[in-house]
């Protein structure tokens, strides 16, 4: 995977927010979701840098990376569901498979 995952996530989120037409009442749920997505992307970047920057990664460290990744995915799932629940039926239809959860 090439490129900056954080920049990619921010670009994708910007398009998604526009497509969903997030309202002021939905902004809090949107912000929580966006922060979770950006957090996951940031974690991916850190893990990639750690993997590329060392001669070898110990099994314990690989396990810790996976555990952190799982926790971050769970956070995205929770925040995605929270956001989905405050969307209007029309927005939910538009969201379709666009939301990460």
Domain ranges (residues) in the chain: 5-95
C-alpha span between 80 and 63 (Å, rounded): 25
pTM here? 0.81
CA 87 centroid distance within chain: 18
39-77 pLDDT, tens per residue?
998 887 777 776 676 667 778 887 888 888 889 899 999
What is the C-alpha radius of gyration for the chain, rounded to an integer number of angstroms? 16
Q: How far is CA 99 from CA 39, 41, 56, in A?
A: 15, 15, 35
C-alpha span between 32 and 23 (Å, rounded): 14
36-45 pLDDT, tens per residue?
999 998 887 7
Closest CA to 44 of 70, 20, 18, 74: 70
Which pLDDT does position 101 carry in this prediction?
Answer: 66
């Amino acid at each position: 995977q090439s490129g900056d995952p954080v920049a990619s996530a921010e670009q994708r989120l910007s398009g998604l927010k526009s497509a969903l037409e997030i309202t002021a009442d939905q902004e809090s749920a949107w912000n929580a979701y966006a922060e979770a997505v950006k957090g996951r992307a940031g974690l991916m970047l850190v893990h990639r840098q750690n993997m590329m920057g060392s001669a070898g990664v110990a099994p314990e460290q690989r396990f810790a990376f996976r555990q952190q990744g799982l926790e971050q995915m769970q956070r995205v799932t929770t925040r995605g569901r929270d956001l989905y629940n405050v969307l209007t039926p029309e927005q939910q239809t538009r969201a379709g498979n666009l939301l990460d959860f």
